[in-house]
Amino acid sequence: ALPDEHEKLLNECNLLYWAKSLLDFTYEYIDHCIVAAPTLPSFPIPRVHFVEAGIALAFFCHSSNTQGTSEQAPMADIKAGMFSAVYLLEERVTSGTPNDQTFTKFIHNKDYGPSLDKDEYGYDVAVFLSFTQHIQYEKTEGLAFISDYQGSTELLTDPQILT
């Protein structure tokens, strides 16, 4: 039903908001450690972020009747101004990866280690994301960390947060 879909998508957006916050917090910690270190890291730090997203509601402009037409199924009486559909709009995940690989599952939500083998494209990002889980777990004193990292090597989507 529409109200259920609306609630699910609001929860999805809220989850994305909190995942962005946790990832930003992680990068702030990493950046702080780099500034405080006597030398720069000998390896590049991947810079990823979650997609921008939002909820879109489609509204009825006029009331409908319950009669319908011969080509339509009867509809419940819908008042003008009520929303008729709800959509989650997300930034498109793309990248210029080898073999046009644009979507990768870096870490599964049932595991804390990389889902990729060492020789697979994106393995270094997967290892880094595993490291971010460790920071999040430690800095929240075991309360939360992002799981189910997936997307491209620059843009992530559809996270889960384990608490």
Q: Which of 61-75, 101-115, 131-145 is the least confident region?
A: 61-75
Q: Which of 93-97, 116-120, 144-148 is the least confident region?
A: 93-97
In terms of pLDDT, which residue wins out, 162 or 74? 162
Residue range 76-104: average pLDDT?
A: 73
Strand arrangement of the beta sheet that strand 49-50 belongs to: 49-50, 155-156, 150-151, 104-105
Residue range 4-18: average pLDDT?
A: 93
Pairing of strands 150-151, 160-162: unpaired
In terms of pLDDT, which residue wins out, 151 or 99? 151
Residue range 8-23: average pLDDT?
A: 95
Strand ranges for the chain from DSSP E: 49-50, 53-59, 83-90, 104-105, 145-147, 150-151, 155-156, 160-162
Q: pLDDT-derived band of residue 97, with 50, 70 and 90 as boundaries?
A: low
111 pLDDT more than 90: no
128 pLDDT more than 60: yes
User: Cβ neighbours of residue 138 under 8 Å, at least 6 residues apart?
Assistant: none
In terms of pLDDT, which residue wins out, 88 or 82? 88
Both ends of the chain: CA-CA distance in Å?
29
pLDDT at 13: 93
3 pLDDT more than 70: yes
In sequence order, what are the beta bridge partners of 150? 105
Q: Which of 6-15, 58-67, 78-87 is the least confident region?
A: 58-67
Q: How far apart are CA 122 and CA 119, in angstroms?
A: 9
Q: pLDDT-derived band of residue 159, with 50, 70 and 90 as boundaries?
A: very high
